[in-house]
Amino acid sequence: MALKSINPTKTKAWKKLEEHFHEIKNVHMTQWFEEDSNRAIRFTIKWDDFFVDYSKNRITKSTIDLFLELAEEMELKKAISSYFSGDKINQTEKRAVLHTALRAPIDSQVYVDGENIIPKIYSAKKKMETFTNDVVNGVLKGFTGKQFTDIVNIGIGGSDLGPAMVVDALSFYKNHLITHFVSNIDGDHVNEILKKLNPETTLFVIVSKTFTTQETLSNANTIRQWFLQSGDKEAISKHFVAVSTNIKKAKEFGVEQENIFPMWDWVGGRFSLWSTVGLSISLSVGYSNFENLLLGAHNMDEHFKNEPFQSNIPVILAFLSIWYNNFFKAESEAIIPYTQYLNQFATYFQQAIMESNGKTVMRNGDKVNYQTGNIIWGEPGTNSQHAFFQLLHQGTKLIPADFIGFKESLYGNLDHQDKLISNFIAQTKALLNGKTKEEVENELINSKLPKDAQKTLTPFKVFEGNKPTTTFFIRKLTPENLGKLIAMYEHKIFVQGVIWNINSYDQFGVELGKQLATSVLEEFNSIKINNHDSSTKNLINYYKNRAK
């Protein structure tokens, strides 16, 4: 059953939120902290290893209450149940959205078209486990009898970003295998990777849900040609495996049937790292760590499914995001992890969030008359403090930011950890409080500057503050906690999609560019010129004349 189409702006709660917004939009959060000594506790959710403090947001209790009313009118509860039970909520593609089933326990029952899909998920997992162990332990060997030393994931989008982000995030848990990722159609990317590889000891994992993606197939073909300079056709079966729903195409490429790991159309590419698409994760950190990642995600699924909305982490996060996006008209959101391990986290969520919720039509096909999808960006702190934080603190744009930090460091270097976490906490305080004119003046009095220079400098040193942040303080970066964190954002995406009344699970917006690239490519080698605007025509001609 598809989700019901309801225009959120026509609900009673939306109207009330608009009125409420006008009442509180200019209030400085520091006022609320002064008035209510319980504010931090009131707006903190403690769950498992997570401590989520959202008190430094431009909200009051009424804001949350009104969002709870909105969730009720938008039938969020019913939508969550449809999502988990395999209803075809991706209505345009007539597909269920079941990445949650990939991390469900073995005794669960989730039905798609009358079939319980849990047994086939577990059979694919068993195949992954056996294969992982055999590669890691050196049972499987390359064509000259040597053990594998390197893994290359060949994929793009969801078939690259998730595995790449997780392998990087869990480098502390990594085994001896060196993992590489080839994604870009840019031939220099694949050549740079090939430079580092020995064909005798490299295993290639071709990941493509459709097995039709130009980038992945071109890279896989280039790599195969390179490989055939050393090994013969038979050797390919020892060195190339595939993850795909398209068994026929994978076999046509030359991958042996037994080396194809299944995937299903009810797993969206950008939510697929939990499936066999996670093979390079499992190979890199071992199967039990991969299982722990899934377990963490499952725990977050249970929290999301069962927790009342007022203490439900993904639900609250979605409310905050809609509050800033639709009422404060914020243009973007930042994700700032205070760990270098999450270097690729924001990049990963750029696809998950922007490909999901970058939509302009409601579920009934009508154009939206309100803003949807957030622009996501971010880099780890403290590096980002020395890069773009100036704009967060003193720029004209309102940028709500998620601060993600871990109480324990993995190598236990307390000196560094104390400094890291002091920055993590101090930045959210600075963004909240800012620095008033009086504070700046008092500071300058103690400087050696002459009085008139002090006066000139004062406005430049004022910080308005009142910049919203949400702090995620997590015990430790373990595979399980990473699983929870990723699943948390996945469910936030879902809730936003429900409230914005859009289909978060199709991605037609990526098609047009792909189609046009195919026809432009044909023109490079033909005298026939298609009908183009003058700019596109000039660019094509400029490139066609490259040899001259």
With CA atoms as reference, report the closest residue to 368 among 12, 9, 3, 75.
Answer: 9
**Shortest distance, CB of residue 251 to ligand F6P, whole angstroms?**
16
- Taking the C-alpha atoms of residue 292 and residue 461, their distance in angstroms, rounded to an integer, is 47
Beta strands in 318-373, from DSSP E residues, in sequence order: 332-337
With CA atoms as reference, report the closest residue to 20 among 91, 75, 70.
Answer: 70
Closer residue to ligand F6P in complex, CB, 426/510? 510
**Shortest distance, CB of residue 282 to ligand F6P, whole angstroms?**
18
**Shortest distance, CB of residue 102 to ligand F6P, whole angstroms?**
15
Closer residue to ligand F6P in complex, CB, 2/185? 185
Strand order in the sheet with 260-262: 178-182, 150-154, 202-207, 240-244, 260-262
**Residue numbers of the site for ligand F6P (CB under 6 A)?**
156-159, 208-210, 213, 216, 269-270, 355, 507, 510
Is 471 in a helix, a strand, or coil?
strand
- Taking the C-alpha atoms of residue 20 and residue 241, their distance in angstroms, rounded to an integer, is 56
**Shortest distance, CB of residue 358 to ligand F6P, whole angstroms?**
12
Is 369 in a helix, a strand, or coil?
coil
**Shortest distance, CB of residue 212 to ligand F6P, whole angstroms?**
7
Closer residue to ligand F6P in complex, CB, 116/218? 218
DSSP state of 406: E
Set 355, 379, 480, 490: catalytic member: 355
Q: List, in sequence order, every residue forming a beta bridge with 207; answer none if it has no partner.
A: 243
- Taking the C-alpha atoms of residue 151 and residue 308, their distance in angstroms, rounded to an integer, is 43
With CA atoms as reference, report the closest residue to 275 among 253, 292, 257, 290.
Answer: 290
**Shortest distance, CB of residue 40 to ligand F6P, whole angstroms?**
39
Closer residue to ligand F6P in complex, CB, 259/275? 275
DSSP state of 138: T
Closer residue to ligand F6P in complex, CB, 163/381? 163
- Taking the C-alpha atoms of residue 293 and residue 51, their distance in angstroms, rounded to an integer, is 19
> Catalytic residue at 18?
no
Set 233, 329, 386, 451: catalytic member: 386
SS (H, E, C) 31-85: HHHHHCCCHHHHCEEEECCEEEECCCCCCCHHHHHHHHHHHHHCCHHHHHHHHHH
Closer residue to ligand F6P in complex, CB, 348/406? 348
**Shortest distance, CB of residue 507 to ligand F6P, whole angstroms?**
5
Closer residue to ligand F6P in complex, CB, 99/238? 99
Task: Find the length of the chain.
Answer: 548
> Catalytic residue at 355?
yes
Closer residue to ligand F6P in complex, CB, 510/516? 510
> What are the distances in angstroms from CA 303 to CA 322, 328, 494, 537?
21, 29, 14, 54
**Shortest distance, CB of residue 270 to ligand F6P, whole angstroms?**
5
With beta carbons less than 8 A apart as the criterion, state whether 104 and 129 touch: no
Helix ranges (H only) for 254-340 are: 279-285, 287-306, 313-322
> Catalytic residue at 303?
no
Q: Which residues are known catalytic residues?
A: 355, 386, 514
